[in-house]
Amino acid sequence: MSSRRTLLILTSMALAAAAVTPALAASATVKPAEELVSKVANEFLDAVRDGSHRDDFARVFDRYVSMEAIAMFALGKHRRRLPPDQRSDYIELVRTMLLNTVTKHGKQVRGRAFVVTGSRGSVVSGYIQHDGDRRTGVDMRLTEGRIADIRVEGIWLAFILRQEFNRIIDGGNGDISAIFDYLKRGTAL
């Protein structure tokens, strides 16, 4: 499977993980990170229920996702090459790409509920409960109270982005403008 196709599937599944009804047990042991993931899932579910409008997804992204953490991690070894005056443009292009992808494909992953199973450090673990007994494991890493990465079935979104972005920049002889060209060309994966 191509890395672009893998990224598409992973992004759709990871963000759809927040698009299903959360099932948290009401108890005093629920941690703030688990509550945050539950809240994100509810708001994302509302956006899906309302017809997956781009503006609804954008509000969830802007409120709960650390695009800066995801975008900067994705640059990997090329991070130092990003001129400071282009940083905000780059982050916005990554945001637009992920937002377009979720808007286009967010409904493809169906599930009945998102069940939080616990947390350890900055990672909240859970699964998407599909019809029958099928489950999709999902972990969300939080940084400063925002989602900074999502792992679906053992694969971290930011790592897939890093592989793809490094491939593009390396293919452009290390020129950072290659990632800008790529992000400006593509609307959704």
Distance, CA of 45 to chain centre: 15
Token pair for residue 35?
Answer: 């509550």
What's the CATH code of the domain at 149?
3.10.450.710
24 φ/ψ angles, rounded to the nearest 5 degrees: -105, 135
pTM of the model: 0.79
Q: Convert the pLDDT of each residue in 89-98 to its tens digit.
A: 999 999 999 9
The predicted model gives 131-149 an average pLDDT of 88
Number of domains in the chain: 1
pLDDT above 90: residue 73: yes
Where helices occur in 65-186 by DSSP H, the ranges are 67-75, 87-105, 157-171, 177-185
What's the pLDDT tens digit per position in 107-137? 665 566 678 889 999 999 988 777 788 888 8
Domain span at residue 68 reads 3-185
Closest CA to 60 of 42, 72, 34: 42
